[in-house]
Structure 1
Amino acid sequence: MSRKKRGIILFAGVVIVAGAVLAARYVWHGANSDPNRLRVSGNIEVRDAEISFKIAGLVRERLVSEGELVSASQVVARLDRSDWLQEVALRRAELRAAQASLAELEAGYRPEEVAQARAAMQQAQARLEELLAGSRPQEIAAAQAAVQSASVQAAYLKVEFERQSQLLQENTISRSQFDRAKSEYERAVAGLREAQEQLKLIKEGARKERIAQGRGAQEEARQRYEMLEKGPRQETIEQSRARVEQAKAVLALAEVRLADTTITAPFSGIVLSENVEPGEYVAPGTPVVTLGDLENVWLRAYINETDLGRVKWGQRVRVTTDTYPEKIYEGRISFLSSEAEFTPKNVQTQEERVKLVYRVKIDIPNPKLELKPGMPADAEILLDPEGS
């Protein structure tokens, strides 16, 4: 049986026993001989809170046990935090990258980058102008000279090729000598054709598609230069700043989640029950321990309906316990129930109505933490004007 179930059964037993004791004793207290004093009995109770994690995870350690006194802010339990440590590291890296990008934009482009862009723009412009201007006379003359030279070379090798053919027929030379002469002649013819094609292209000037490419390259170079010269656009900088703020927010959330892997006691008190064990996987809000506040305890008691009109909120109460019989604890009425306990609401006869009892709550300061939950106690409500 788990500790949680044992605690629930124990608590139910205490409630049953306390109810039986109170039901037996409240009639006796209804016959108080002193009209200015009303005696009641009950059990000490405490304000309790179920301490839980805000996030899901594997319970790595629980540092408190049932019955242990804890102080406010004392660590109660921890989840495995390895995943959240990695998450925080990742988010910090993202923030640094966003901050570096923003700093680069705010600083603008370096002078050498602007100078390189200007030079590239000028080169593209010169190339476009060259394409638009067409070929120069010197280029045409050089191409014509190349055609003339290739023509002379081809004519000479043609004669040589024809002579070698005749010699081959006469079996005067070998086949390899003939093949070599043939290859030289064919290369010369190909060179002549290439020179003639080049001369034709030079005379015609640049083709339209090359001019279009030159215009595109010149425009691209111009736009880049102007962009670098003016610096980053303001909206680009604002977007980068927004990314930095977003990265900060994401990092802050990850750090909060990392902190949420540890839970602490919200107040000083006593551990009433252990609800989970190390190694268990818990969902958000799953109670890990139940903590009771011992500094401000209260007594649950019951009074007869006939005494209901004499008991007022704020009246002083003197409380004693069997554990400390010689000590009197000063308390005050903090709650009066408006509904009867133990009997139905629809009771009609006067004889049965006088048997109704009403719940009373008596707050008792407990600075020395002497009073514990479940402890039986007797109380004397001061009804006289001097004691109220």
Structure 2
Amino acid sequence: MGRLVAAGVMVFLALLSAMAQAQSSERALMSEAVERSMLQETVHLDGVIEAVQQSTVSAQTSGIVRSLPFDVDDSVAAGDLIVQLEDSEQRSRLRQAEAGLEEAEAALADAGQRFERIEAVHERGLVSRQEFDQARNNLAAARARVERARASVSEAQEQLSYTRVLAPYGGILTERHVEVGESVNPGQPLLSGLSLEQLRVVVDL
């Protein structure tokens, strides 16, 4: 009987010891500090480097290509002459427009002087109202002809400027669409190029 009691006491003490260890371990787990960390992942992708600014210059007037100062892979600066078209026709139109403007301005001067004379005598009642109105209408028409002549000169100057094609920005020529001696029309591509100042990488995800 005494042995059974002793054995029971030993079992009881063992259970108490196990429970104490479990509680101690639980308290240790509960007091453990948790730290946050970042998960880093590296992804390798294939991409293509391309220029942000790339364009094709087209003709804005008709003519024959007289010279191409630069070739493919040449570097150009902004404002460089890259295509020169034959400009004899455009220069002829400009001369005609300028001559027309001179005639219109001379006619305006005559109409102005005539109107001033008629206006002066009309105030004294020496000319009819109809003659006065006619002189005033002639002056207005002469002014309108001068405005049209000036517009023609501006248009002719613009067409002449189109025979000189300038680089819109600095960069490298990548493609030539015409050859010297070739006839071109408005809208026809002349040269293509790109700028190396701004580049980007294009990837497929």
Normalised to the residue count of structure 1, the TM-score between the two structures is: 0.38
- Residue 261 of structure 1: how far off its partner (Å): 0.7
1:45 is matched with: 50
CA distance in 1, matches of 2:135, 2:166: 49
Whether contact under 8 Å (2:115, 2:139) holds in the other structure is no
Q: Are positions 1:271 and 2:173 aligned together?
A: yes
- Residue 43 of structure 1: how far off its partner (Å): 2.2
Whether contact under 8 Å (1:43, 1:299) holds in the other structure is yes
Q: Are positions 1:287 and 2:189 aligned together?
A: yes
Cα distance, 1:233–1:109 mapped onto 2, change above 3 Å: closer
Query: Which residue of 245, 251, 258 maps to 2:153?
Result: 251
Whether contact under 8 Å (1:105, 1:232) holds in the other structure is no
Q: Which has the larger radius of gyration?
A: 1
CA distance in 2, matches of 1:290, 1:91: 34
- Residue 40 of structure 1: how far off its partner (Å): 2.1
1:73 is matched with: 79
1:87 is matched with: 93
1:234 is matched with: 136
CA distance in 2, matches of 1:55, 1:230: 46
Query: Which residue of 106, 109, 113 maps to 1:103?
Result: 109
2:20 is matched with: none
Whether contact under 8 Å (1:274, 1:290) holds in the other structure is yes
CA distance in 2, matches of 1:281, 1:100: 39
1:345 is matched with: none
2:63 is matched with: 57
Counting matched residue pairs gives 156
Give the aligned CA root-mean-square deviation in angstroms. 2.3
Whether contact under 8 Å (1:108, 1:232) holds in the other structure is no
Identity %: 27
Q: Which one has more relative contact order, counting CA pairs under 8 Å at least 6 apart?
A: 2
| Partner secondary structure for residue 91 of structure 1 | helix
1:35 is matched with: 40
Structure 2, unaligned runs of 5 or more: 1-38, 118-125
5 Å matches for 1:8-19? none
5 Å matches for 1:165-176? none
| Partner secondary structure for residue 289 of structure 1 | strand
Task: For 1:55, give the aligned amino acid.
Answer: T
- Residue 265 of structure 1: how far off its partner (Å): 1.1
1:97-126 deviation per Cα after TM superposition (whole angstroms, max 9, x unaligned) = 000011011112898xxxxxxxxxxxxxxx
CA distance in 2, matches of 1:262, 1:289: 13
1:155-214 deviation per Cα after TM superposition (whole angstroms, max 9, x unaligned) = xxxxxxxxxxxxxxxxxxxxxxxxxxxxxxxxxxxxxxxxxxxxxxxxxxxxxxxxxxxx
Cα distance, 1:91–1:253 mapped onto 2, change above 3 Å: same
2:201 is matched with: 299
Task: For 1:38, give the aligned amino acid.
Answer: V
Whether contact under 8 Å (1:108, 1:231) holds in the other structure is no
